[in-house]
Chains A and B, each alone.
Chain A
Amino acid sequence: MLDRADGQTFIGNVRLVHAVGMHARPAVKLTKLAKKFEAQIFVRVAGAAEWINAKSVAKIMAMRAAHGSTIEIKASGSDAEAAVAALVDLIATDFPDGAS
């Protein structure tokens, strides 16, 4: 799911289907993919107060997103739309190998 929030910021949300939640391997893949984009990208577990830098593996791990939780993504910057789409796809397809 992808929404255009305003002029620069794009948001999306996706259910975390990974069996053990947001652990080292998915977290590494997510941050690696996020770093490919110029955009500033933030994620949070739906409803959490704080947005987390999607390019920081330490913070993504600390988020402790559990299996079945919904991840919200927002991005701003030149390639923000593509960034959100790519991250949604990565999480929705359960972090396939070779995706990052």
Chain B
Amino acid sequence: MQGGATGLAYRGRTASIGFAHGPFVRVDAGTNGERVAGTLVEEALALRSAIDVASGQIAELATIAGGEAAQILEFQVALLEDEDFIEAIFASIGEGSSADVAWRSALDEQIADYNSAEDEYLKARSSDLADLRDRVINILRGGEGQVLKIPSGAVVCADDLPPSRFLEIDWSSGGGLALLRGSPTSHVAMLARARGIPMVVQLGAIPEIGATALLDGESAMLELDPNAEQVRLFEKRRENHRKSRASARAILRRPTASWRGERIKLFINIQRVDDLDHADAQYADGIGLMRTEFLLTERGRLPDEEAQFAAYDAVLRWADRRPVTIRTFDAGGDKPVPGFTLDGEANPFLGVRGLRLCLARPDVFTVQLRALARAAVRGNLKVMFPMVTSADELEAGRKLFAEIVQRLQLDGIDAMLPELGIMVEVPAAALAIASFKASFFSIGSNDLAQYVLACDRSNGALAPLMDPLHPALLELIARTAEHGRRAGISVSLCGDMASDPRCLPALLNCGLRELSVNASALAQIKRTIDRLSNGGGLG
């Protein structure tokens, strides 16, 4: 299919199934192309304003972060306030450089200088400068503080995309994501699957052309400026996919799934309240995982109690009597949140993230627990803590939660302590599962796999090693399920494995009877369980 002036096709790897036909938009195609330079005056003003915005953002981060992080950030602010340094950049703009080019070359020069230092301390400063460089460039490109201007239904193409930028894009009219690098196991892939946005990764090099694009998540193909024949074939594949989904959906209307006579409970994962609008969501047995990180980024500041309570209450009302499991803030790792997560951790996946971060930041955690305690009286709420390593952490969280409930009640506010459980995603927790006094366990197979297999899940080069069916991972899942069965504690699995039909036989054989999947995968998973139960193959 390759060749010709139009109709180029590129193949990558599937990250999220679905189809998109729309305008082709590159969002970070190198240093030129994404920003049209204005006049000298406009460029100078653009840089001045970007520096002011960056300076404000960093100062705010420094205030919230405190301690050593604040001192590192102060250096960035000082650099932005360094007239000698900044004037040289404006001089370069005066000589005809665009704002981003002038800024980048000045910062790159500094970075190279620091990198050449003998001193490790000075070398380390170069990453601060790279951070500052990218922050200002992002602002110049309109990426930070302002919503990306992307036409609705577009096929968005980027080298890679951090989750925060995915969330800035309006996907309400569909569209798709085509990444030149990226990984099917990244967080952004998870977000795309949850939203039913087709996504293809590892497309390699793509020329800077294309007005429209076809993106087929199933066959992992991106076609640029397609000809009529390509569009016809694409529409045919889309129609086949739709029919197959329609037949799967018919299964949803049937009563609960079962396997070998045992009831299999199927819950859904949601990232935000809007995910409940998915047509299939109503067929779920409840919500197995409500992520709450969206609350942290939605308004550009940490959420207040009322905003959180409103979100939790809306989900509980939707669920009626069905259980709703809400996970407390799981920030950190590859989900940085300005003003909340720590900057400059050498290895954030093994750093202060999940419950660790919440316990370190009672100011933020308390607000969430207050909102949850108030929501608990409104429905069948369960609360779980992410990234738990030791039983002490669960107990520390429980103690704080109980104190908050008591304080609310003393103030005459309706509140109660909901059932408390933990995510099982740290191998130590899976191995010492009996040490946790939890009301339920939810296996976070994505992180558990990453930690057991020692593979960064966002690193595409390791994708072949990220085998969800690795016996070590299945062993930990089976142990957790077995413990739950013996102790009469419910155990579910809410990672990507649950949404992957190929993993289902293994999960059922491990003893799992509760799965939580994206609403978009619910029909297919139910159909697969149905087929397996009837002795058939994978659906």
Within 8 A of A (CB), among B440-485: none
Complexed CA–CA distance, A20 and B121 (Å): 9
Contact of A58 among B82, B119, B121 (CB under 8 A): B82
Chain B residues contacting A53 (CB-CB under 8 Å) are 84
Asked if B71 and A57 sit within 8 Å, CB to CB, the answer is no
Give A22 Cβ to nearest chain B Cβ, in Å: 10
Interface string of A34-60 (1 = CB under 8 A from B): 010000000000000000010111110
Interface presence of B122 (CB below 8 A): yes
Contact of A25 among B71, B79, B113, B117 (CB under 8 A): B71
The answer to whether A28 and B74 touch (CB under 8 A), given A20-B121, A23-B121, A23-B122, is yes
Which one of A20, A23, A59 has the highest number of Cβ atoms from chain B below 10 Å of its Cβ? A23
Interface presence of B5 (CB below 8 A): no
On chain A, the number of residues with a Cβ less than 8 Å from chain B's Cβ atoms is 18
Chain B residues contacting A25 (CB-CB under 8 Å) are 71, 74-75
Chain A residues contacting B150 (CB-CB under 8 Å) are none
Asked if A31 and B78 sit within 8 Å, CB to CB, the answer is yes
Interface presence of B72 (CB below 8 A): yes
Interface presence of B85 (CB below 8 A): yes
Complexed CA–CA distance, A23 and B121 (Å): 8
Contact of B75 among A20, A55, A57, A62 (CB under 8 A): A57
Interface presence of A15 (CB below 8 A): no
Complexed CA–CA distance, A24 and B72 (Å): 8
Contact of A28 among B78, B83, B85, B121 (CB under 8 A): B78
Chain A residues contacting B121 (CB-CB under 8 Å) are 20, 23
Asked if A24 and B82 sit within 8 Å, CB to CB, the answer is no
Asked if B78 and A32 sit within 8 Å, CB to CB, the answer is yes
Complexed CA–CA distance, A6 and B75 (Å): 35
Interface presence of B110 (CB below 8 A): yes
Chain B minimum-CB-distance residue to A66 = B119
The answer to whether A58 and B110 touch (CB under 8 A), given A20-B121, A23-B122, is yes
Interface presence of B125 (CB below 8 A): yes
Within 8 A of A (CB), among B354-391: none
Complexed CA–CA distance, A28 and B82 (Å): 10
Which one of A23, A24, A55 has the highest number of Cβ atoms from chain B below 10 Å of its Cβ? A24
Complexed CA–CA distance, A58 and B78 (Å): 9
Range for the number of chain B residues in contact with chain A: 10 to 19
Complexed CA–CA distance, A62 and B122 (Å): 10
Chain A residues contacting B85 (CB-CB under 8 Å) are 56-59
Chain B minimum-CB-distance residue to A30 = B78
Within 8 A of B (CB), among A49-96: 53, 55-59, 61-62, 64
Chain A residues contacting B79 (CB-CB under 8 Å) are 57-58
Give A91 Cβ to nearest chain B Cβ, in Å: 17
Chain A residues contacting B71 (CB-CB under 8 Å) are 24-25, 28
Chain B residues contacting A59 (CB-CB under 8 Å) are 82, 84-85
Complexed CA–CA distance, A56 and B75 (Å): 11
Complexed CA–CA distance, A53 and B85 (Å): 11
Give B435 Cβ to nearest chain A Cβ, in Å: 42
Complexed CA–CA distance, A32 and B71 (Å): 13
Chain B residues contacting A27 (CB-CB under 8 Å) are 75, 78
Give A56 Cβ to nearest chain B Cβ, in Å: 4
Give A47 Cβ to nearest chain B Cβ, in Å: 20
Complexed CA–CA distance, A57 and B71 (Å): 14
Asked if A24 and B75 sit within 8 Å, CB to CB, the answer is yes
Asked if B113 and A62 sit within 8 Å, CB to CB, the answer is yes
Chain B residues contacting A58 (CB-CB under 8 Å) are 79, 82, 84-85, 110
Complexed CA–CA distance, A25 and B81 (Å): 15
Chain A minimum-CB-distance residue to B71 = A25
Give A57 Cβ to nearest chain B Cβ, in Å: 4
Contact of B82 among A20, A23, A57, A64 (CB under 8 A): A57
Complexed CA–CA distance, A31 and B82 (Å): 9
Within 8 A of A (CB), among B66-108: 71-72, 74-75, 78-79, 81-85
The answer to whether A56 and B110 touch (CB under 8 A), given A24-B72, A28-B78, is no
Give A97 Cβ to nearest chain B Cβ, in Å: 10
Chain A minimum-CB-distance residue to B72 = A24
Give B83 Cβ to nearest chain A Cβ, in Å: 7
Asked if B83 and A56 sit within 8 Å, CB to CB, the answer is yes
Chain A residues contacting B83 (CB-CB under 8 Å) are 55-56
Give B112 Cβ to nearest chain A Cβ, in Å: 12
Residues of A within 8 A of B (CB): 20, 23-25, 27-28, 31-32, 35, 53, 55-59, 61-62, 64
A-B contact pairs, 16 of them (CB 8 A): A23-B121, A23-B122, A24-B72, A24-B125, A25-B75, A28-B71, A28-B78, A53-B84, A55-B82, A56-B82, A57-B78, A57-B79, A57-B81, A57-B82, A62-B113, A64-B119
Residues of B within 8 A of A (CB): 71-72, 74-75, 78-79, 81-85, 110, 113, 117, 119, 121-122, 125, 128
**In the complex, given contacts A24-B75, A28-B75, A61-B122, what are 17 additional A-B residue pairs having Cβ atoms less than 8 angstroms apart?**
A24-B72, A24-B125, A25-B74, A25-B75, A27-B75, A28-B78, A32-B78, A53-B84, A56-B84, A57-B75, A57-B79, A57-B81, A57-B82, A58-B82, A58-B85, A59-B85, A64-B117
Top 9 closest pairs, chain A to chain B, by CB: A56-B84, A58-B85, A57-B78, A24-B75, A28-B78, A56-B82, A57-B82, A28-B74, A58-B82
